[in-house]
């Protein structure tokens, strides 16, 4: 085997803030040899309650930053961006492979051979109708419901993941689904894996939960293998974390999504 078959450039991962760290953590587990450069646009977080026009502009700036850092591929670790901005990103950066989380979640949901699928996400993700369109493109007979849960992102950011407040917020959005559960619940927001246990408790095992972070990591792994794009197996991958703002509680919050200490976080500007 020739060493030319390896590509040791980093994988770029970005999100509106720190929610995408659940994807970075899944990538780290799945791809121990890869360098991972993570960008969180914490200065403008959240994206999910903003207009498609603004989300597309922000996402272009995020990708441009990662390209300047020399990445070989970019993962949009944000369902809002993946729902609203992928077409615009592919047009703006035609030479760069950009992968989104929606595709991964959709593939995992389809693999489960369910009849009725519920997707929860931000208002922008649900308004975009991206999950329903992607699922129906493969199987038009599926029953697909999408529910916007805009308070779950702030709850996750504040670490209120298993409190009476958490369950009352579930009641706001999901009480009807609990009475009449579908086969599968897709967590259509990279913040939501922190609620997995609480959601399992809330639904009492009545439906299967699919987490797009793990599905996304598997998709990236497969993509790198198929395109001979992976790092050398003799290399130990490092992670770097870039954020556009460093509020006082950033280390604590980042650690919650990453599942371990984030280490050094570098403050960066997206201005060229």
Q: Mind telling me the catalytic residues?
A: 78, 189
- Which among 18-26, 87-95, 162-170, 198-206 is the span making contact with a copy of itself, rule CB under 8 A? 162-170
Q: Binding residues for a copy of itself, how many (CB under 8 A)?
A: 31
Counting contacts by CB under 8 A, is residue 156 touching a copy of itself? no
Counting contacts by CB under 8 A, is residue 147 touching a copy of itself? no
For the CB of residue 46, give the shortest distance to a copy of itself in the complex, in Å. 9
Counting contacts by CB under 8 A, is residue 32 touching a copy of itself? no
Find where tokens 């760290």 sit.
21
Nearer to a copy of itself, 36 or 156 (CB): 156
Counting contacts by CB under 8 A, is residue 266 touching a copy of itself? no
Counting contacts by CB under 8 A, is residue 245 touching a copy of itself? yes
Counting contacts by CB under 8 A, is residue 251 touching a copy of itself? no
101-111 and 130-138 are packed helices; what angle lies between their axes, rounded to 10 degrees? Answer: 50
CA distance 102 to 143: 17
Counting contacts by CB under 8 A, is residue 43 touching a copy of itself? yes
Nearer to a copy of itself, 22 or 80 (CB): 80
Query: Among 44, 116, 235, 240, which residue sits at the site for a copy of itself (rule: CB under 8 A)?
Result: 44
For the CB of residue 262, give the shortest distance to a copy of itself in the complex, in Å. 16
Beta bridge partners of 75: 13, 99
3-state SS class at 201? helix
CA distance 104 to 99: 9
For the CB of residue 159, give the shortest distance to a copy of itself in the complex, in Å. 10
Site for a copy of itself in 167-206 (CB under 8 A): 168-169, 171-172
Counting contacts by CB under 8 A, is residue 49 touching a copy of itself? yes
Q: Tell me the helices (H) and strands (E) count for the chain, helix number first.
A: 12, 10
Which is nearest to 102 in space by CA: 122, 126, 72, 78?
78
CA 20 vs CA 105, 113, 206, 236, 250: distances in Å: 14, 27, 27, 22, 14
Query: Among 24, 78, 160, 174, which residue sits at the site for a copy of itself (rule: CB under 8 A)?
Result: 160
User: Is the peptide bond prior to 46 cis by the omega test (within 30 degrees of 0)?
Assistant: yes
Helix ranges restricted to H, 78-228: 79-84, 86-92, 101-111, 123-128, 130-138, 152-157, 164-179, 196-203, 212-226
Which parts of this chain interact with a copy of itself (CB under 8 A)? 42-44, 49-51, 53-54, 123-124, 127, 150-151, 153-155, 157-158, 160, 163-165, 168-169, 171-172, 245-249
């Amino acid at each position: 085997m020739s060493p030319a078959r390896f590509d040791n450039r980093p994988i770029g991962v970005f999100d509106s803030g720190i929610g995408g760290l659940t994807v970075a953590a899944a990538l780290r587990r799945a791809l121990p040899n890869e360098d991972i450069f993570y960008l969180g646009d914490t200065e403008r977080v959240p994206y999910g309650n903003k207009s498609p026009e603004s989300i597309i502009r922000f996402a272009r700036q995020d990708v441009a930053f990662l390209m300047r850092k020399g990445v070989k591929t970019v993962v949009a670790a944000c369902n809002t961006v993946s729902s609203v901005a992928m077409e615009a990103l592919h047009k703006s950066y035609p030479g760069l492979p950009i992968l989104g989380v929606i595709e991964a979640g959709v593939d995992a949901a389809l693999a489960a051979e369910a009849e009725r699928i519920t997707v929860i996400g931000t208002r922008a993700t649900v308004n975009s109708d991206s999950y329903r369109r992607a699922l129906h493109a493969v199987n038009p007979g599926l029953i697909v419901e999408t529910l916007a849960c805009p308070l779950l992102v702030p709850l996750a950011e504040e670490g209120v993941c298993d409190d009476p407040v958490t369950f009352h917020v579930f009641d706001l959005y999901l009480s009807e689904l609990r009475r009449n559960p579908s086969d599968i619940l897709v967590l259509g927001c990279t913040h939501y894996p922190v609620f997995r246990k609480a959601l399992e408790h809330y639904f009492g095992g009545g439906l299967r939960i699919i987490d797009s972070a793990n599905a996304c990591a598997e998709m990236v792994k497969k993509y790198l293998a198929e395109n001979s794009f992976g790092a050398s197996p003799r290399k130990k991958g490092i992670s770097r974390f870039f954020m556009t703002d460093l509020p006082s509680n950033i280390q604590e919050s980042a650690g919650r999504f990453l599942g371990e200490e984030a280490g050094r976080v570098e403050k960066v500007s997206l201005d060229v």
